[in-house]
Amino acid sequence: AQKITQTQPGMFVQEKEAVTLDCTYDTSDQSYGLFWYKQPSSGEMIFLIYQGSYDEQNATEGRYSLNFQKARKSANLVISASQLGDSAMYFCAMREGRSGAGSYQLTFGKGTKLSVIP
């Protein structure tokens, strides 16, 4: 079974509108972290937002917020007031909890291509 599932290969959104990118995850660990990254055509993975499994409040970073529903194992990214520069691939990733220093392996989904329309 896939650990990270992104069911939307591509999404379109009108400029200045909000958009939600879906992500569901599968883990038996109690301690884990969820990440969203943006990857423009240049290739660099840009960190957007992080949610820890024990965080009680949804994470927010500027126009990005993470809708974390632990019981449903979903971690959707919400981008408010979309801009043309938001057009890119978006990846959801998970770090599962392990003790010690070797606990930073990220498992990625297949990504969602977001296109912002003027």
Partner 1 sequence: DAGVTQSPTHLIKTRGQQVTLRCSPKSGHDTVSWYQQALGQGPQFIFQYYEEEERQRGNFPDRFSGHQYPNYSSELNVNALLLGDSALYLCASGETGAPYEQYFGPGTRLTVT
The site for partner 1 (CB under 8 A) is made up of: 4, 33, 35, 37, 42-47, 50, 52, 91, 93, 95, 100-111
Kindly tell me which of 18 and 46 has the beta carbon lying closer to partner 1. Answer: 46
Give the nearest distance from C-beta 63 to partner 1 in angstroms.
19
User: Which is nearer to partner 1, 20 or 39 (by Cβ)?
Assistant: 39
Closer Cβ to partner 1, 45 or 78, answer by number: 45
Determine the Cα angle at 61 with ends 58 and 67, to 5°: 30
Nearer to partner 1, 7 or 105 (CB): 105
CB of 64 to partner 1, least distance (A): 14
Name which of 47, 14, 21 is nearest 118 in CA terms: 14
Separation CA 62–CA 60 (nearest Å)? 6
Smallest separation, CB 101 to partner 1 (Å): 4
Between CA 77 and CA 90 the distance in angstroms is 9
